[in-house]
Amino acid sequence: MKVAVLTGGGDCPGLNAVIRAIVRRASIHGFEVMGLREGWRGLLEDSHFRLTRETTSGILHRGGTILGTSRVNPFKVENGLEKVMHTVERNQIAGIIAIGGEGTLSAASQLHQKGLKVVGIPKTIDNDLNGTDFTFGFDTAVGIATEAIDRLHSTAESHKRVIVVEVMGRHVGWIATYSGIAGGADVILVPEIPVELDKVAEHIHRRHSTGRSFSIVVVAEGTRIKTADNESEHLVTSGQTDEAGRPRLGGVGAYVAQEIERRTGYETRVSVLGHIQRGGIPTAWDRVLATRFGVHGCDMVSRGEWGRMAALRGNEIVSVELATATASLKRVSQEFFEVAQVFFG
Q: Binding to ligand F6P by residue 101, rule CB under 6 A?
A: yes
Phi, psi of 139 (to 5 degrees): -60, -40
CA atoms in the 13 A half-sphere facing the CB of 63: 19
Check binding of 331 to ligand F6P (CB under 6 A).
Answer: no
At residue 22, the 3 state secondary structure works out as helix
Per CB under 6 A, contacts with ligand F6P among 183-222 are 221
Task: Kindly state the smallest distance separating residue 63's Cβ from ligand F6P, in Å.
Answer: 13
Q: Please say whether the beta carbons of 150 and 271 come within 8 A.
A: no
The catalytic residue among 126, 128, 186, 286 is 126
197-209 and 252-264 are packed helices; what angle lies between their axes, rounded to 10 degrees? 50
Three-class SS of residue 119? strand
By CB under 6 A, what part of segment 219-238 binds ligand F6P? Answer: 221
Does residue number 173 form part of the binding site for ligand F6P (CB under 6 A)?
A: no
15-23, 164-172, 308-316, 320-328 -> range binding ligand F6P (CB under 6 A): 164-172
Q: How many residues bind ligand F6P (CB under 6 A)?
A: 12
Task: Please name the residues in contact with 33: beta carbons below 8 A apart, sequence gap of 6 or more.
Answer: 2, 3, 4, 5, 22, 23, 26, 50, 51, 52
In the region spanning residues 12 to 71, those forming contacts with ligand F6P, defined by CB under 6 A, are none
Beta bridge partners of 96: 4, 118
Q: Is 326 in the site for ligand F6P (CB under 6 A)?
A: no
Binding-site member from 68, 169, 191, 297 for ligand F6P (CB under 6 A) = 169
Closest to ligand F6P by CB, 95 or 120: 120
Compute the least distance from the CB of residue 175 to ligand F6P, in Å. Answer: 8
**Of positions 242, 280, 328, 334, contacts ligand F6P by CB under 6 A:** 242
| Beta bridge mates, 121 | 99
**How far is the C-alpha of 97 from the C-alpha of 156, rounded, in Å?**
46
Residue 170 as a binder of ligand F6P (CB under 6 A): the answer is yes
* Residue closer to ligand F6P, measured from CB, 140 or 264: 140
Which of 64, 194 has the CB closer to ligand F6P?
64
Give the Cα separation of 18 and 123 in Å (integer). Answer: 10
Instruction: Convert 254-286 to b/e letters by CB count within 10 Å (16 or more is b).
Output: bbbbebbbebbebebbbbbbeeebbeeebbebb
Nearer to ligand F6P, 125 or 152 (CB): 125
Among 5, 7, 10, 319, the residue binding ligand F6P under the rule CB under 6 A is 10
State which residue, 70 or 110, has the beta carbon closest to ligand F6P.
Answer: 70
The runs of H, that is alpha helices, within the chain are: 15-29, 41-44, 80-90, 102-113, 138-159, 174-183, 197-209, 252-264, 284-303, 322-325, 334-341
126 carries an active-site annotation = yes
Q: Scanning residues 112 to 131, which ones bind ligand F6P (CB under 6 A)?
A: 124-126
Residue 65: count of CB within 10 angstroms of its CB:
24
Return the number of the residue (221 or 286) whose C-beta is nearest ligand F6P.
221
* Contacting residues toward ligand F6P, per CB under 6 A: 10, 101, 124-126, 168-170, 221, 242, 249, 278
Q: Among all residues, which ones are annotated catalytic?
A: 126
